[in-house]
Structure 1
């Protein structure tokens, strides 16, 4: 059975809501997404459905080439996983996507994390809670903290993630076009600590 890769994308869009979260976390990246391809053509998260309104949110398929992502700073990590875990994660997302109208953004959970209080709501996630829940589908990944307590800046600490890229998200595609071997991307980048400590 061959291995696969899963990618997490952490971003700072510079939007007002993101700035407010950043004031609390004091971390460079405060939005998390997950993808199953190195070019980030299919990116999944829980976030705003309307770019102008951060309070109307839910399950979203994000396009890194438009909207708030155009000027976003980012860091991308990859994790090598077993093929069976890869398909478990994919299936989990597909099930949520098929019933996305029943899922909501866990805004209350986002505020609860500030006081380190676990608040799991049915059919509701904030971005890093969703990504952590997807990762938990992998049998080889042990996440000790409840997903509802995981901030975006701690996601890459839960397993042996490798740095792929750090910089402007709009430059990511330029790098992937010029560098077909995704595993080599980021070899010359140094990551600014996103927060394992």
Structure 2
């Protein structure tokens, strides 16, 4: 029995003013992380903008590449990785994710946490995450340990440089073949 499955991590750069400011500091090509359980990215989850035009109103978001923030920023560039996981790990991740989905209005965007990463000092609040912290937290709580650091210290670039991540695509989001097919 093959117990190996994959989850997908997308790192992206929408080119917005907010991401441009972060990029100047991090010098990393991508500054947003999302997690998906399907290779077509039909359902992705992260912490980010709740309203595409308002970077200050953030929290837990179910992302759809055809609507929402990505639809507003059609020149988004991205890199997509797959990570080999077991059925059991996926079940754990989905259970944890269900708590976020059920209580999405109780979660806030951890802007101070982003500042904490730059100061090399974790700043954590209950029910408050930034994008890569959220993805790292989901993985860690599911028993997947990719780094020897707190989720509050994980950056999108940490995913990009992790040897367990298998690159499947890099380029414009809307040129990724599964997304192009959905646009038709």
Report if TM-score (shorter chain) is over 0.5. Answer: yes
Partner in structure 1 of residue 60 of structure 2:
59
Are residue 44 (structure 1) and residue 48 (structure 2) matched? no
Q: Could you say which residue in structure 2 is the equivalent of 1:195?
A: none
Cα deviation, residue 141, structure 1: 2.9
Distance 1:112 1:140, change over 3 A: closer
The CA distance in 2 between the partners of 1:33 and 1:109, in whole Å, is: 17
Over residues 55-78 of structure 1, what are the superposed CA-to-partner deviations in whole Å (9 max), with x where a residue is unaligned? 110000111123542220000000
Whole-angstrom CA distance in 2 between matches of 1:63 and 1:72? 13
CA distance in 1 between partners of 2:146 and 2:7 (Å)? 15
Q: Is this contact kept in 2: 1:85–1:137, CA < 8 A?
A: no
The aligned residue for residue 114 of structure 1 is: 118
Q: Secondary structure at the match of 1:71?
A: coil
Q: Is the 8 A contact 1:15 1:68 kept in 2?
A: no
Question: Using a 3 Å threshold, how does the CA distance of structure 1 residues 83 and 95 change in structure 2: closer, same or farther?
Answer: same
Contact 1:42 1:62 in 2 (8 A): yes
User: Secondary structure at the residue paired with 2:176?
Assistant: helix
Give unmatched runs, 5+ long, in structure 2.
none
Q: Distance in 2 between matches of 1:125 and 1:175?
A: 27
Q: Is the 8 A contact 1:46 1:105 kept in 2?
A: yes
Q: Is the aligned partner of 1:102 residue 2:102?
A: no
**Does 1:23 find its partner at 2:8?**
no
Q: How many aligned positions are there?
A: 177
CA RMSD of aligned residues (A): 1.6
Aligned residue for 1:153, secondary structure, equals helix
Q: Distance in 2 between matches of 1:158 and 1:74?
A: 16
Mark the runs of 5 or more structure 1 residues left unpaired by the alignment: 178-197
Q: Residues of 2 paired with 1:91 and 1:44: CA distance? A: 14
